Amino acid sequence: MLTLLKLLQDGQFHSGEALGRVLGISRSAIWKQLQQLELDYDLPIHKLRGKGYRLASPLSLLDPLKLNDAVPGWTKTVVETIDSTNAEVMRRIAAGEEPPFAVLAEHQSGGRGRRGRQWVSPYGQNLYCSVGLRIEGGARQLEGLSLVVGLAVLRVLRAKGLSGVGLKWPNDILVGNRKIAGILLELIGDPADICSVIIGIGINVNMRSPDVQIDQPWTSMLLEGGELVDRSELAVSVLEQLDLCLAQSAYGGFKTLRAEWEADHLWQGRSASLVAGQRRIDGVVLGVDDSGALRMDVEGVESVFSGGELSLRLRDDS
């Protein structure tokens, strides 16, 4: 069915006869495959007598050949559908596959965000990418890692022409107050010695449906720029910029990127609440320190916070 979908991804009408001729199957078999695509991936397909079939909206499917040009030395695998790319990288590392490598998917049935949230993953619309890396030298190599990854994604989005895009500590990329991308880091092994880190990157690329159920304001590259984005070219840019930012961080630590990160932090100087379970701390965001921890002015005293379960929210009076 993927081959059929590739023929239809341009969003134009294609006759059943022409599709069948290319695939070497009957028109009735084409129709059955189209029905299955609608059922499996919620892809609306329009049928018009005398013209044939077309997708309700064009797609930009991932091209493994384009991805091969990105970051020599990293293995890149494209899968059609999977529970989550992070989970797949974790399984591959557990099975003995040696990092560094990347897994990208057209669709996730169980995409995950921070703090157990679902990451909505419609077929062929967004970027679902996870990278497995081997980390040696202890926890210091992990300092500010989620911020480094976010900065890499931000650089790419800016280079693609998005305006108003910025960072939110610790894992989000926003346009105004609307989320366009997020980062999810997971560890395997001993963070004090040798471990593997899984970097999950989700970017809203060509998603446009107002019916998509997401529990926070969101936007996409298509909604912001008005044009369909080539997901393969975007993936290449993300992997290359990620490799560059990781090299910069490895050489001098997060502190070498701190000033750039703070300059792009949308909530710098804003009144915010830091939430950890039932605990809430109100203050003013001052920035981050050399390890990527959040600095806040809390009742006139600078305090530093870090941890994977912390959530930063703007105050109503900000």
Helix 27-41 crosses helix 16-23 at what angle (to 10 degrees)? 90
Reading phi first (left if > 0) and then psi (alpha if -120 to 50, else beta), residue 253 is in left
Question: Is residue 85 a known part of a binding site?
Answer: yes
Question: Is residue 311 a known part of a binding site?
Answer: no
Question: Is residue 115 a known part of a binding site?
Answer: no
160 is catalytic: no
- Check: CB of residue 217 under 8 Å from CB of residue 179: yes
- For residue 272, the cross-strand partners are 283, 314
Q: Which of 114, 168, 231, 258 is catalytic?
A: 114
Question: Is residue 219 a known part of a binding site?
Answer: no
Give the DSSP per-residue string, 69-81.
Answer: TSSTT-EEEEEEE
Question: Is residue 68 a known part of a binding site?
Answer: no
Q: Which of 54, 92, 155, 179 is catalytic?
A: 179
Residues 6+ apart with CB under 8 A from 281: 273, 274, 275, 296, 298, 303, 305
Give the DSSP per-residue string, 254-276.
Answer: GGGTHHHHHHTBTTTT-EEEEEE
- For residue 81, the cross-strand partners are 107
114 is catalytic: yes
Given CA atoms 223, 229, 233, 235 in this order, what sign does their dihedral have? Answer: positive
Question: Rounded to whole angstroms, how far apart are CA atoms 125 and 306?
Answer: 33
Question: Is residue 179 a known part of a binding site?
Answer: yes
Q: Which of 47, 280, 313, 315 is catalytic?
A: 313
Question: Rounded to whole angstroms, how far apart are CA atoms 8 and 88?
Answer: 28
Question: Rounded to whole angstroms, how far apart are CA atoms 149 and 244?
Answer: 10
> Which positions make up the binding site?
84-86, 108, 112-114, 179
> Which positions make up the binding site for biotin?
84-86, 108, 112-114, 179
* Residues known to be catalytic: 114, 179, 313
